[in-house]
Structure formats: C-alpha cells, structure tokens
Structure 1
C-alpha cells in the first residue's frame, strides 16, 4: 500500500551499513516496530541509535495474558520445554520454523509445527511433521485441527495480537495445557504499545 513517505525494503547488511544509512539520510529518530521475538534486530537498532545519538522508541504490542480456564506454563528459553512436555505427548508447536530447532529434538513426543508454505526440507527430527496452513484461523478451525491431530499440548511464543490468539482460545475450549515462551527482554529505552503513542512520541521530539 503506497504511503506518503520514502520507503526502503530489506536489511542493511550489518550494523555498519545501518549506521551509514542513518548518517547518509540524516535520520534523527528511529522507531523499532519489529516482531516481539526479533531480539537481534531490536538490539542492533538500539546500539546504532545510541552510538549516533539518535532517539529510539520501541513499539511492542501487549503480550497475551492467561484468563479463567487457561492452563499456561511459562518458560524463558525453548530448552526448558524438554523438562515439561511429558514423553508420549502429542505437541503442536506454534512457534514458526525459525524457532523450531531451538526446542531440540524432544524425543518420545509426536510433534507438529505449522508453516505457511510447503516445507523445502524434512522435519528436523524423527516423530515430527509440518502442518501447512495460511492464517488467519478461526477458533473453530484451530479446535478442529487440534482434535484431528489428537493434540494434548500446545507450545506458543507470546507474540501478542488478536489476529493469532485463536489457537489459545481453542486450547482453553479443549482444556489443553499451553507452554508459553516468554518474550526476550527489550533493549533499554522508551516503549509504547500503539501506533498513536509512537506518533505522539515522535511529535514530542519537536
């Protein structure tokens, strides 16, 4: 969608190229609105901003929080999953292909991981299978999928947002336990949760 601003797509090719871009283009404010789990990008952005004396704001949507009927266990690192997921469990890993390997092979469990397009490579460990599906999904669709696969554990990254919350609502309906991976910490600096708040911060810079 066209916007009334100069745009640029793709990465910068490293920290120094990012720094050079800010200098060459006279950047005097940075708003980091990447995915809550894009820790490396947020950290690099904050480092470049600090080194150049550029104000930097992080925009992060609110995380999901458990409600009545939810059965969540929270973890800070994927490696913790092996001690919690019981052997014999049928596990739906809603964590994305890039994060999948961080959870390790989890031997003795049946694993399913959803991705949008057909996998170019086989599942990284025995006993696993990719499930192809393009979001958004309704609560009913998620519930039907979990029933069809006989899922008894759901593993999720706490990305927040209403668009992908349906899997959590389906888990509540089915009384499924959820293993929730907490977000990595943000770099130091101001944080807001909405676009309006980010615009207000930008205007406040004068």
Structure 2
C-alpha cells in the first residue's frame, strides 16, 4: 500500500514511524512546514514545491497513491482539501483542542483580525502564530509586537515597534514564564492547535496572569467518517488496506 502523509502537526514524526513499519506499506510525506523535515522521520520526504493546487493533485495521480493521511497542522487545510477532492481513501488526523484552566484568562476569537482588535492600546504582545501574522498589526503602531522564530535569521522586523524572539523548542512552562517576564508580555496570541508541547506557553501565561487571546479553529468540512484520532490512525489505515 502506497500512502501519502501530509505532515505538519507535532505528532507527525511518530505517526510516520508507526505507519512505516507496517509490513507492505510505503509512506511518503509532504509537509507545509520545515519542522517535520528537520526531525527526519524514517520515511521519504518529498522536497519539491507545489506552485499550484493542480500541481499537488497531479503529483498524487502520478505517484498512484492508495490512500492519503492528513496530519497537517490543525489550521492548515490546503493540501487536505485538494486530496479530499480526489477519488482516494482519505483520513484527517485530529486531536482535542485546549480548554481554559481555572487560572487562565482567555479571550476567544475567530481570526487574527479579531485578535488584533482585542488588544488594548500600548500593550506588549507576544505572537506564537508565525512570522506571517506580524503584518496583521501594521495599523497598530501603538502596540509592541514580539514574534517567536524557531530558527535564527537576519530578516528585518516588518514593524517599527517590535522584534523577533528566537528560540528552539520544546519549551518548558518554567522557560516560557522566564521569557514572558523578561519581555514584559501583556498579551499572548496563539491558535488553539491542541498540541501537548505547545500548551506550555498557555500554562505559563496563566501562571503569570497574562491575558491569552486564543484563535479558535474553523470547521474545514471534513465528515466524521474521514477523521481519526492519533491513536486510531494505524488501525484505520490497516482496515483500509484489507478492503
């Protein structure tokens, strides 16, 4: 069975390893981020670039995959949407979203635009939403914006009032608390990915009384029968192979 895995969530590497050792399975990964590729899962990783949606659909057809397992980041749906439009067995990997703990002050929003609007004037904001989200603050010169980057680089920060913060995870709760205190963070903005490792920053913000602006995931329209938890994926793949 030739399996295409769309990688992106933190569990992708372990999942790729689990699927690759099933006898008779060949697993090839495509990824919408470099983190999975850096982790070197024990499978082949496609290192090309899909310029258009049609390029990706053509790749799936040309490689004659038997099934697609979509383990992309919960907020990434481009490749999965294309794959679902093809006549192939498809499975979207899911995990539970975070819920607020008693000491955590959450503001739930539906988009980055709403997150920016929820930030009061002159606040110090820590973004855990990626470099591209910094531009959402281009009209908010009053706010000081900090954006975490996992890899060191020399790119200029795109806003006059702010800076990149460099550091490679995983980050402990204690380390996140130290970072937030040093940077005098008032607000933390992040997406509700449900990642176990990623939640350390939420715990840290709660411990320090920092307000958390949580962008909630939107429904990408995947039917229930095409979803599986991380624990169930291997069984579902094996069931598909046996039919």
TM-score range, shorter chain: 0.7 to 0.9
Shift of 1:116: 1.5
Contact 1:153/1:178 (<8 A) preserved: yes
1:72 is the counterpart of 2:116: no
Deviates more, 1:59-68 or 1:140-149: 59-68
Query: Any stretches of 5+ residues in structure 2 without a counterpart?
Result: 1-12, 28-43
Listed one character per residue, the Cα deviations across residues 53-74 of structure 1 (whole Å, up to 9, x for unaligned) are 2121100222211121111111
Measured in 1, the distance between the counterparts of 2:112 and 2:197 equals 23
How many residues are matched? 201
Identify which of structures 1 and 2 has the higher relative contact order when contacts are C-alpha pairs closer than 8 Å and 6+ apart. Answer: 1
Contact 2:152/2:166 (<8 A) preserved: yes
Q: Which of the residues 4, 27, 33 maps onto 2:65?
A: 27
What RMSD, in angstroms, separates the aligned Cα atoms of the two structures?
2.1
Contact 2:56/2:79 (<8 A) preserved: no
Listed one character per residue, the Cα deviations across residues 134-188 of structure 1 (whole Å, up to 9, x for unaligned) are 1111111111111111111111111221112111111111111100011232232
Listed one character per residue, the Cα deviations across residues 17-54 of structure 1 (whole Å, up to 9, x for unaligned) are 3333333333222111111121222222222x2xxx21
Contact 2:92/2:222 (<8 A) preserved: no
Match of 2:130 in 1: 96
Mapping 1:188-203, distance limit 5 Å: 188-189=222-223, 190-194=226-230, 196-203=231-238
Give the 3 Å change call, closer, same or farther, for CA 44–182 of structure 1 in structure 2. same
Measured in 1, the distance between the counterparts of 2:65 and 2:116 equals 45
Give the 3 Å change call, closer, same or farther, for CA 129–8 of structure 1 in structure 2. closer
Contact 1:29/1:54 (<8 A) preserved: yes
Q: Which of the residues 181, 201, 204 maps onto 1:167?
A: 201
Contact 2:70/2:91 (<8 A) preserved: yes
Match of 1:108 in 2: 142
Query: Any stretches of 5+ residues in structure 1 without a counterpart?
Result: none
Mapping 1:126-205, distance limit 5 Å: 126-189=160-223, 190-194=226-230, 196-205=231-240
Runs (4+) off by over 6 Å: none
Shift of 1:13: 4.3
